[in-house]
Amino acid sequence: MPQLRNSVLVFFLTLIFSLMSSNVMAENENEETPNPSPVEDLQPSQKSIPISQPTTPASPRKEKKDKRYFGTEKEPRIDAGIFHVGFAAGGNFFIEPKLSAANGTPLKEYFNDFGFGGGVIFDFDYSQMTENIPLMLRGFVGYRYILRSVHVFDVQGIVRRMWQFSDSSSFGIGAGVSSALWFRTITDESLYEETLFLPSLVLETGFEFNPLMVDLKWLVNRLGTDSTINGVEFSLGIRF
């Protein structure tokens, strides 16, 4: 009996010691092992690591390149003068040989009479530019009535040498050509009717007092013995 009692006592002591040692070891393991971090902490923070957005490459643009001029800069073109348009009207005096109505031979007599006319003037004036080129190109489209029987529709082109006296006054002398259609009607002076195309040489001079202008022309249609056709025309106009 005493032995059995001792054995039961030893068994209980051993059981209590083993339970106490296991608790101590469990506590030590809990202190040494850190708590696992939540899944959210394992993911990168949006604030610290920004998520880059996919970027699309910009399409290349063709840039216009400026032209380069080596040595000197490109000068502006001077291909037209100062443009003016005007209206002019005046009188004329023409002479023309009289021809036989039967066979067209000269009668050694001349028609000569005053007439009138007018038209539109187009000027490209280079003398008014800063370069002061003493040149003007003049065009004229108009109508004139001459010799008491002839209607003339005329187109002229003249090149003028200019002298500039001031900003508003100039003088010019020029020469050019004219293309005209003559429609002759039957009158007491003219015994026959005809239509003629008569080119002519034009010699011209005149003044410009802006906006006024004065013009004097000598038109030579034909020169020859008993066949000369020419005339003088004087006109006043306004130019803008």
Give me the CATH number covering residue 88: 2.40.160.20
In terms of domains, do 9 and 100 share one? no
Q: Is residue 135 part of a domain?
A: yes
Is it the case that residue 231 has pLDDT exceeding 60?
Answer: yes
| 149 and 230, same domain (yes or no) | yes
Look at residue 171 in the predicted model and tell me its pLDDT.
96
Average pLDDT score over residue span 95-118: 83
Q: What is the pLDDT of residue 81?
A: 79
Examine the domain organization and report whether 132 and 199 are in the same domain.
Answer: yes
Q: Is 5 part of any domain?
A: yes
Name the band, by pLDDT with cuts 50, 70 and 90, for residue 58: low
Flag whether 203 is in a domain.
yes
- The predicted model gives 81-103 an average pLDDT of 88
Greater model confidence, 44 or 120: 120
Residues 21 and 116 in one domain: no
CA–CA–CA angle 218, 165, 170 (5° rounding) = 30
Q: Is residue 27 part of a domain?
A: yes
59 is a domain residue: no
DSSP 171-230: EEEEEEEEEEEEEE---SS--S-EEEEEEEEEEEEEEEETTEEEEEEEEEEE-STTT-EE
Residue 22 inside a domain? The answer is yes
In this prediction, residue 160 carries a pLDDT of 97
Better-scored residue on pLDDT, 11 or 213: 213
| Banded model confidence at residue 219, pLDDT cuts 50, 70, 90 | very high
| Nearest-angstrom CA–CA distance, 165 and 1 | 160
Distance CA 35, CA 90 (A): 118
With a cut of 80, say whether residue 94 has pLDDT above it. Answer: yes
Same domain, yes or no, for 146 and 225?
yes
pLDDT per position as a tens digit, 3-33: 556 665 666 677 666 666 655 555 555 555 5
Residues 24 and 138 in one domain: no
The pLDDT of residue 136: 95
* Amino acid residing at 172: G
Q: Domain span at residue 8? A: 1-31
Tell me if 202 sits within 8 A of 232, measured CB to CB: no
Q: What is the pLDDT of residue 123?
A: 95
Q: What percent of the chain has pLDDT over 90?
A: 42
* Mean pLDDT within 56-81: 57
Q: Do residue 101 and residue 10 come from a single domain?
A: no
What pLDDT sits at residue 56?
59
Q: Per-residue pLDDT averaged across 102-127, rounded?
A: 88
Segment 31-43, tens digit of pLDDT: 555 555 554 454 5
The answer to pTM > 0.85 is: no
Task: Band the pLDDT of 107: cuts 50, 70, 90.
Answer: confident
Whether residue 14 sits in one domain with residue 131: no
Structurally, how many domains does the chain consist of?
2
Do 188 and 97 share a structural domain? Answer: yes
Same domain, yes or no: 158 and 221: yes
In a domain, 38, yes or no: no
**CA-to-CA distance for 218 and 29, rounded, in angstroms?**
131
Residues 109 and 201 in one domain: yes
Say whether both 215 and 154 belong to one domain: yes
In a domain, 100, yes or no: yes
